[in-house]
Amino acid sequence: MRAPRLALPLAVLLTVALGSPSGASAATGGANGGLTPAAANPTTPAIVNSGWVDWYWDSNGTGGPFDFTTSSTTYMIVVDSYCRGDQFAVYDNGVFLGNTTSVPEDPECDDLPVRNGPVESFLDPTFSSWEFTLEPGDHSVTFAVIVNPFGSGGAYYGLGFTAR
């Protein structure tokens, strides 16, 4: 389900961005969704309050699956980074949730200012992003790159924003 565009305070974004490294191996429960990995898959990230997860794609144009379980309604933010112009279709358990925003392409990847992190990119409307609502339960999130002028790239997703 597509969430309304959130006006998240910078402090909330920085709290998520400055949490423990995204490559941590153990998820934490508790506040903001109580997310824990659903399977012992080496690509399963530790999620809640552990920062952003960077993901990459090449000519296959897909990312994931990223498997996890939520115990409460949770927002997932998906944001392009590095070079402007990518756009993504987001799926959960094979069900289409929606697309990130359409933005002008920068085919030379030289537009300034350079953004190479999730918070800076999310706050910059020239990068594609969107927030999605995830209901409690098991999730297997995949991303399909629907616009990519570069042939490969990188983006981020973050979880742990609990609907209030």
Q: What is the pLDDT of residues 42-73, one digit of tens each?
A: 344 444 445 688 999 888 889 999 998 888 88
CATH of residue 148: 2.60.120
Task: Assess if residue 4 is contained within a domain.
Answer: no
Residue 65 domain boundaries: 10-18+34-39+47-162
Q: What is the pLDDT of residues 87-128, one digit of tens each?
A: 999 999 999 999 999 999 998 889 888 888 899 999 999 999
Spatial CB neighbours of 37, under 8 Å, sequence gap ≥ 6: 27, 44, 45, 46, 47, 67, 68, 69
Quote the number of domains for the chain.
1
- Alpha-carbon span 139 to 122, nearest angstrom: 23
The confidence score (pLDDT) of residue 114 equals: 82
Task: Assess if residue 97 is contained within a domain.
Answer: yes
Task: Assess if residue 28 is contained within a domain.
Answer: no
Task: Assess if residue 24 is contained within a domain.
Answer: no
For the chain, what's the residue count?
164
Task: Assess if residue 76 is contained within a domain.
Answer: yes
Name which of 70, 41, 55 is nearest 144 in CA terms: 55
- Alpha-carbon span 92 to 73, nearest angstrom: 14
Number of other residues whose CB lies within 10 A of the CB of residue 115:
21
Task: Assess if residue 29 is contained within a domain.
Answer: no
Task: Assess if residue 116 is contained within a domain.
Answer: yes
Q: Which two tokens stand for residue 119?
A: 């918070």
Task: Assess if residue 156 is contained within a domain.
Answer: yes
**Average pLDDT score, the chain:** 73
Q: Phi and psi (nearest 5°) for 10?
A: -55, -35
Answer whether 121's CB lies under 8 Å from 71's CB.
Answer: no
